Structure 1
Amino acid sequence: MKKNILLFILLLPIPAQSIVLADETASIKLNSLGYLPQAIKKATVTTEATVFQIINSQTGLEVFQGKLSEPVYQKDVDQKVWIADFSQVTQPGKYTLQIKGVGKSYEFTIGSDVYKSPFVTSMRAFYLWRCGMAVHTDYKGNHYETKACHLEDGWMDYIGKPNERRDGTGGWHDAGDFGKYTVNAGVTMAVLFYAWDHFGNKLKNISLDIPQTAPGMPDFLQELKWETDFLLKMQYNDGSGRVSHKLTRKGFEGFVMPQDDKEKRYFTEWGSAATADFVAIMAMAARYFKPYDAVYAQKCLDAATVSYNFLLANTATKNFVQGDFSTGGYQTGDADDRLWASAEMWETTGSSRSLIDLESRIEKLRNLAQENWDWGNIDNLGVFTYALSKREGKNPQLQAKVKQAILTSANLLVEKAQADVYARPLAGLYFWGCNGTVGRQAVNLQVANILSPNKKYTETILDIIAHLFGRNYYGRSYVTGLGVNPPMYPHDRRSAADDIEAPWPGYLVGGGHTATDWVDKQADYSRNEIAINWQAGLVYALAGGL
């Protein structure tokens, strides 16, 4: 990868002294996708300077000159940086940021629709993850395709029916591997359904150029339906309401194309967290699909009701045990999943029983709005649905308490982003999949913005986009095929197994475990894998910028 980085540097007229020694990237770091005209526009500069210019790429003329901020040292990146604020530049066009004696940035765009194309590419990435059908796309001169795969999903040996098979085809591959996991589908579908709920007026008319597998629905919902169609098959077919934790082979497949993965794949035993997540997903699906397909929506609600009744009658946690499996565990307790299930059932049906269940669970929470959350701690999903609901009957004191907690959390995210030299609201925390969490924090901010509109919340969402697309320590996009110097070697079996140098486009990689240790290496699954839950956060953040 070092050769690619050096090539990137040589293409920019930046002298050697302006290169950050730790990662050898350019010293001017900003959002490589572009900026909305009225948004705050900032760049982080890692070489000492006092004045910067914004140059119109077409005319070569200076359109703005500004002073860099006083230097700020940040310990986790071990850098002294200067901030260039060019928010006053609002005229649509293409520009570069230049600093005499230092160099210039890559070209960026200011315009009203700078995030539309990246949104489409990132959302189409879900289509390219589809299991059970051939998929293809043309992108930047390359043709990517897979054939229909895993058409024998899945075997029922682990749910009491040895050597029997029933239909488990469809859905999305989970990550860089080809497994399908109910728990991780939960947080993924929730964030995507939130995107529809919060930005549906913008999303409904966007073409994703996908097969019309649910004619009459907007493309965005058609893609989500591909996953709910599969998840309906994860419910046991004995009427009990139990839901399989995952559908995978016993061990991870090698680096092959999905159609070449021929090992038997099994429905695993049920778990209470997976069952609760299934309830919530299907209750949400019932709401959002109803205007387009009332029969299908009722099917989803009926399935949710059966599984919710099972959970009410079986209150003990049923943990999933890996046993013979070594594929993704996604093992978690179920208190947060049950809370989310009750929230979505109440929002969809108005059931007083669900509301009582929900409020009793919210009252037990110590943290009503978590900043750092993912599939293993999804209380936020239930709390956010409760806070935004227009249904009557809520406890007014609890509602006020929840609202205040959400606003307090969002304000803290704003403060952290403003204090971080790369505008990262997850300031100081790095771990497996942290880029996905950064994207997902856009949900916290938008929920707060709905409850109490504040431009600082939406500006911080744009900061999240900027960080993921280049305003970071590396000066690189974290999304394959998008932005400047994007990842070339994600931990993704398709990208490794095809004969194309560039990886499959539109995917967010997980990120480093410290502020400075991310590496673009295929083998490093803990830093450079892709995953549906991280991708959903990226899609949501970009939807907020449309």
Structure 2
Amino acid sequence: MRAPILAATALTLGAAMPPPLPIHLNQIGFEPGDAKTAIVEGGSAPLEWVLVHANGREVKRGRAKVYGPDAASGAEVQRIDFSEVRTPGEGYRLVVAGSRSDPFAIREGVYAPLARDALAFFYHQRAGVPIEARLVGAAWARPAGHPREVAKCFAGRDERGIEWPGCGYALDVTGGWYDAGDHGKYVVNGGIALWTLLNAYARRPLAFADGSLKLPEAGNRVSDLLDEARFEMAFLLKMQIADGVRARVPAGPPRPAKAGKPAWETEPSDFAEIDAGGMAHQKVADRNWTKLPTPPQDDPEERLLYPPTTAATLNLAATAAQCARLWRGADDAFAARCLVAAERAWQAAKRNPQVYATNSFTGSGGYADGDVSDEFYWAAAELLATTGAAEFRDAVTGSPHFRAELREPGWPSTATLGSITLATTRNALPKTEIDRLREAIVAAADRFLADEKGNGYGIPYVASGYPWGSNSSLLNRAMLLGLAYDLTGAAKYRAAVVAAMDYVLGRNPLGQSYVSGYGTRPLRNPHHRFWAHSLDPRLPGPPPGVLSGGPNSTSMSDDVAKTMRGKCAPQRCWVDDVHAYSMNEVAINWNAPLFWVAAWLDGD
């Protein structure tokens, strides 16, 4: 038996202690059969490493593989691969030149708690209902926010001085999920988040059976995952406009931004009167931004509906069509209601194909998007999978997105969602086309795998500037990698999914777990109005399972980020600060892929 490995190399009397070498890895651990990689910063010659048990006994030793200078992290790095070690245990550590890693586990089911907690995030973000202590614990219980939300349309001048006419009705839009760290509820962001949860259900409909989660609907003989998804779906249905309603909105291509204005701040087109029946309002939100912190039950602002848009309407069409397909047999009446809404929304979007959102309103996010061809394709794909109708087949096959390369999805780029549905769901396309779409998923996964070679930390992501919400971009890539594994069984794709999760849970140059409640150094201070303990000790920090948006080196707009601009490598442009909204906010469309990937890793 080998002797225990000491915590530090013995030094001669008077010798200077060498600086510790950062060793970064997944801080919760690994499934026994998965790839196991750590990154050590420093050294141009291969470093010797030793893996030890909690009791200090040596398990395995080897030499790291030098990667060298890494632009994404701003460091020289080496990679340690100990995938051969499969023996379950707790408290493992890597020792390199006297430096010790964080402790970690090797065991089955390591991702199961994370999948449950990442999904529980959506219950915490519910609007209109109390969050019950019996389900979440006393610290996170709260009264209902906006318990009866009957909102009128925005009317008057927006922040640019544009006059909006409003509307002659109010809608009861109680319910749904708060989008992020604010109190807004957005159809375009709710759409992709809802789709992701429903796609996880479609893959494994038995995975979150009734009673497996802590939800008020437990015991209703319906999957708890479907219960949570229905809460948002019901809200999206409420955002649809009744037939026969006319509205004056900007209709047509937006004009370029005025000189001196940001590129995203395009000028809206001229107002025109449209038949708005079947369209969906873009959002319901506060007239003005609320301060930090403000629990939703204390929100003093007027709640308003903001104008309908083509993008919101197509998000409703896509998710309602998905709802109609997945609720069949669970609640046929709800499925039928969803299908009617989806078809109405599709026809409304066809009548009004260029009603774009504008970044004109304070108090909420704009989610402006000047290209909705991807939303048209996504909605047509979902409707085709649900109905088989020739109209939707023609819309799918006639779209430029049908044969385009796939990329990681995001709220402004949803075409990939449609391709995933068509590749993995029985539908009316010829088998040759379905097979081609499956090949496109694998081809996208291969491109992501190639990106692992371009960054020292070995993640399937680009090495250049990191955008707002980079963690979700990485996890959306991991979804496609997971699907490539489903389609091929090739181990390299699962290893890449693991690498993405490793990064989020600590294998990054900050040694930071970007998920609250998980790892040695978890997220603690997200930009959030009621998980704001650092601002008010009476409020809680985040519950476990909440994902930070992550490093942002390209849109450093908040006051905290501005002080870091130009001073950090892309993967280091992050700080755990409640005020750092461009780096450390949370959002439903970011937690959704965290859930999807954690559930996939636990189930495959």
TM-score under structure 2 length normalisation: 0.81
Cross-structure match for 1:509: 548
Aligned partner (choices 526, 541, 545) of residue 597 of structure 2? 541
Inter-partner Cα distance in structure 2 for 1:13 and 1:275: 61
Inter-partner Cα distance in structure 2 for 1:270 and 1:245: 5
Work out whether residues 128 and 136 of structure 1, in 8 Å CA contact, stay in contact via their aligned partners in 2: no
Matches within 5 A, 1:406-417: 406-417=441-452
Cross-structure match for 2:48: 51
Cross-structure match for 1:8: none
Work out whether residues 547 and 594 of structure 2, in 8 Å CA contact, stay in contact via their aligned partners in 1: yes
Inter-partner Cα distance in structure 2 for 1:417 and 1:480: 26
Cross-structure match for 2:12: none
Work out whether residues 257 and 498 of structure 1, in 8 Å CA contact, stay in contact via their aligned partners in 2: no
Q: Which amino acid aligns with 1:386?
A: L
Work out whether residues 171 and 226 of structure 1, in 8 Å CA contact, stay in contact via their aligned partners in 2: yes
Shift in CA distance, 162/287, structure 1 to aligned 2, threshold 3 Å: closer
Inter-partner Cα distance in structure 2 for 1:71 and 1:317: 49
Shift in CA distance, 45/136, structure 1 to aligned 2, threshold 3 Å: farther
1:82 aligns to 2:82 (yes or no)? no
Work out whether residues 283 and 348 of structure 1, in 8 Å CA contact, stay in contact via their aligned partners in 2: yes
Cross-structure match for 2:258: none
Shift in CA distance, 411/138, structure 1 to aligned 2, threshold 3 Å: farther
Work out whether residues 37 and 110 of structure 1, in 8 Å CA contact, stay in contact via their aligned partners in 2: yes
Aligned partner (choices 182, 190, 194) of residue 187 of structure 2? 182
Aligned partner (choices 280, 289, 292) of residue 252 of structure 1? 289
Inter-partner Cα distance in structure 2 for 1:206 and 1:119: 15
Work out whether residues 482 and 494 of structure 2, in 8 Å CA contact, stay in contact via their aligned partners in 1: yes
Inter-partner Cα distance in structure 2 for 1:346 and 1:502: 43
Displacement of 1:262 in angstroms is 2.8
Work out whether residues 67 and 84 of structure 1, in 8 Å CA contact, stay in contact via their aligned partners in 2: yes
1:108 aligns to 2:104 (yes or no)? yes
3-state DSSP of counterpart to 1:495: coil
Deviates more, 1:134-143 or 1:433-442: 134-143
Inter-partner Cα distance in structure 2 for 1:500 and 1:220: 28
Inter-partner Cα distance in structure 2 for 1:484 and 1:507: 15
Cross-structure match for 2:335: 297
Work out whether residues 422 and 471 of structure 1, in 8 Å CA contact, stay in contact via their aligned partners in 2: yes
Aligned partner (choices 183, 202, 209) of residue 204 of structure 1? 209
Cross-structure match for 2:271: none
Q: Which amino acid aligns with 2:549?
A: G
Cross-structure match for 1:30: 25
Cross-structure match for 2:238: 233
Matches within 5 A, 1:435-450: 435-450=471-486
Shift in CA distance, 214/131, structure 1 to aligned 2, threshold 3 Å: farther
User: Deviations 1:59-118 (Å, cap 9, x if unpaired)?
Assistant: 432222222223522123221112111111111111322325332112111111000111
Matches within 5 A, 1:343-492: 343-362=381-400, 367-371=404-408, 373-394=409-430, 396=432, 398-428=433-463, 429-492=465-528
3-state DSSP of counterpart to 1:43: strand
Aligned partner (choices 332, 337, 347) of residue 309 of structure 1? 347
Q: Which amino acid aligns with 1:347?
A: A
3-state DSSP of counterpart to 1:306: helix
Displacement of 1:323 in angstroms is 4.5
3-state DSSP of counterpart to 2:205: helix
Work out whether residues 384 and 428 of structure 2, in 8 Å CA contact, stay in contact via their aligned partners in 1: no
User: Deviations 1:474-528 (Å, cap 9, x if unpaired)?
Assistant: 1110112221211222100111256246333321111122222111111110001
3-state DSSP of counterpart to 1:493: coil
Inter-partner Cα distance in structure 1 for 2:203 and 2:589: 18
Inter-partner Cα distance in structure 2 for 1:390 and 1:380: 17
Inter-partner Cα distance in structure 2 for 1:227 and 1:455: 35
Displacement of 1:362 in angstroms is 4.0
Work out whether residues 18 and 102 of structure 1, in 8 Å CA contact, stay in contact via their aligned partners in 2: no
User: Deviations 1:438-485 (Å, cap 9, x if unpaired)?
Assistant: 111122112323333321111111111111000001111011222121
Structure having the larger proportion of residues in helix: 1
Displacement of 1:309 in angstroms is 2.3
Inter-partner Cα distance in structure 2 for 1:349 and 1:364: 18
CA RMSD, 1 decimal? 2.5
Inter-partner Cα distance in structure 1 for 2:218 and 2:242: 24
Q: Which amino acid aligns with 1:209?
A: K
Q: Which amino acid aligns with 2:449?
A: V
Aligned partner (choices 357, 363, 371) of residue 320 of structure 1? 357
Inter-partner Cα distance in structure 1 for 2:29 and 2:336: 42
The sequence identity of aligned pairs, in percent, is 29
Aligned partner (choices 86, 91, 94) of residue 95 of structure 1? 91
Displacement of 1:121 in angstroms is 1.2
Q: Which amino acid aligns with 1:410?
A: A
Cross-structure match for 2:173: 168
Displacement of 1:311 in angstroms is 2.5
TM-score under structure 1 length normalisation: 0.90
Deviates more, 1:251-260 or 1:464-473: 251-260
Deviates more, 1:111-120 or 1:384-393: 384-393
Q: Which amino acid aligns with 1:251?
A: N
Cross-structure match for 2:558: none
Displacement of 1:194 in angstroms is 1.5
Shift in CA distance, 535/321, structure 1 to aligned 2, threshold 3 Å: same
Q: Which amino acid aligns with 1:61?
A: R
User: Deviations 1:321-379 (Å, cap 9, x if unpaired)?
Assistant: 355544110111311111100000000111111111111114676x33014x3101111
3-state DSSP of counterpart to 1:221: helix
User: Deviations 1:204-259 (Å, cap 9, x if unpaired)?
Assistant: 37722111178221111111111111111001133621111101112221221110
Deviates more, 1:523-532 or 1:320-329: 320-329
Inter-partner Cα distance in structure 1 for 2:86 and 2:422: 38
Q: Which runs of 5+ in 1 are unaligned?
A: 1-11, 20-25
Cross-structure match for 1:156: 152
Inter-partner Cα distance in structure 1 for 2:340 and 2:217: 25
Q: Which amino acid aligns with 1:102?
A: G
Deviates more, 1:348-357 or 1:150-159: 150-159
Work out whether residues 374 and 401 of structure 2, in 8 Å CA contact, stay in contact via their aligned partners in 1: no
Inter-partner Cα distance in structure 1 for 2:199 and 2:26: 25
Work out whether residues 236 and 243 of structure 1, in 8 Å CA contact, stay in contact via their aligned partners in 2: yes
Shift in CA distance, 31/486, structure 1 to aligned 2, threshold 3 Å: same
1:144 aligns to 2:144 (yes or no)? no
Displacement of 1:403 in angstroms is 3.4
Q: Which amino acid aligns with 1:343?
A: A
